[in-house]
Amino acid sequence: MDYLLSLINGVVGDEELARLLFVGAIGLSAVLAAATLIVLVNGLRDPMQRRLVQLKRGQAGLAPGQRPPSPLQLMLERVGQRFDTGEDAKTSATRTLLTHAGYRSPSALQVYWAVRLLLPLVLVGLAFLVLPLIPKLSLEKSILLLSLAAGIGWLVPAIYVDKRKEARMRTLRAAFPDALDLMVVCVESGLALPQAIERVADEMAVSQAELAEELALVNAEIRAGIPSTEALKHLADRTGLDDVQGLVSLLAQSIRFGTSVADTLRIYADEFRDRRTQAAEEQAAKIGTKLIFPLIFCLWPSFFLVAIGPALVGVLRTFGKL
């Protein structure tokens, strides 16, 4: 407290005014924190509000394997609704990013914004607690530290979601060839496309759970009455993979014009293998360029030390005797 008071006094230049500002800031912070806690606690404990949230989430009747939303999740949803950006929940770039990362729940957008708004406040509060422990810290450095804490709190959720999106897309891209081969076998054995998708989802439920879940969602949408082409387009939108988008386009044309789905899948499987081969060849061609930096910074210093080191030592000894 004395440290913060001294900082304010250094800025204002008047000790009495600094004390008044310090006491006012503490009082305002306490009032805002108490009001926030009261609003959140009342909203969480109110049975009517909790019931309305469950109805909005579509969880009025929970399945045996599902769990109701936790109090922390409800709190984040309510905070996110307060700071809603006004974007269309279905077409916004943030919703697309969360969908590609695997967060498909209706409240994912509210929770995401709530975390991005609350985490900087938490880190700034922790930074305020750490500042008195750092000796001889100027006001400029204190402001820089607080700004750094707020920036980290704002950027960390976005970086985490982006990394999760990339990891999920890599997993789906690696599992897609096996699923395509299984689908070709199922269709050629006489199964229709929805049944083939269901069988592939069942077979890959253990080895590739994420892709199996996506295929199961496609099968569920087809059973609900959505056309196969629309369900496959939804699959491409959820995954964000160009390979899936190409498959969806080919299957949509095959279904529209009545051509053989098995032939379409087989042709696309061959094209996909060719693209994988080309991608592998491209990565192999880049190896020579990528090895330049390890050679320069790791191998060449050792080579010069071994090759020129003894001669250099002999030269130094010879000139030392002179």
Task: Select from 135, 80, 151 the least CA-distant residue to 112.
Answer: 80
End position of a domain, from candidates 112, 133, 167: 167
pLDDT in tens, 267-293: 887 887 788 788 889 989 988 888 888
Q: List CB contacts of 320: < 8 A, sequence separation 6 or more.
A: none
Answer yes or no: do 134 and 220 share one domain.
no
Quick one: average pLDDT of 107-133?
Answer: 80
Instruction: Answer yes or no: do 107 and 256 share one domain.
Output: no
Domain end position, chosen among 167, 202, 232: 167
Domain assignment of residue 289, yes or no:
no
Can you give the pTM of this predicted structure?
0.65
Tens-place pLDDT, residues 48-77: 555 555 555 554 444 434 455 555 555 555
Per the structure, how many domains does the chain have? 2
> Within this chain, do residues 22 and 143 fall inside the same structural domain, yes or no?
yes
Asked if residue 120 belongs to a domain, the reply is: yes
Side chain identity, residue 195: Q
Q: How many other CB atoms are there within 10 angstroms of residue 89's CB atom?
A: 12
Quick one: 162 and 173 in the same domain?
no
Domain shared by 152 and 30, yes or no: yes
| Averaged pLDDT of the chain | 77
113-118: long-range contacts (C-beta < 8 A, 24 or more apart)?
A: 113/80, 113/83, 113/84, 113/85, 114/75, 114/76, 114/77, 114/79, 114/80, 114/83, 115/76, 115/157, 116/153, 116/154, 116/157, 116/158, 117/79, 117/80, 117/83, 118/76, 118/79
DSSP 3-state of 315: helix
Query: Is 191 found in the same domain as 83?
Result: no
177 in the same domain as 131: no
88 and 153 in a common domain: yes
Same domain membership, residue 246 and residue 106: no
Residue 313 lies in a domain: no
- For tokens 């959720």, name the residue: 157
Least confident of 2-6, 9-13, 86-90: 86-90
205-257 pLDDT per residue, tens: 888 888 888 888 888 888 888 888 888 888 888 888 887 888 888 888 887 77
Mean pLDDT calculated for residue range 37-54? 56
In a domain, 315, yes or no: no
Establish if 306 belongs to a structural domain.
Answer: no
- Determine contact, residues 76/53, Cβ cutoff 8 Å: no
Give the whole-angstrom CA distance, residue 186 versus residue 100: 28
Range(s) of the domain holding residue 176: 169-283
Identify whether 294 is part of a domain: no
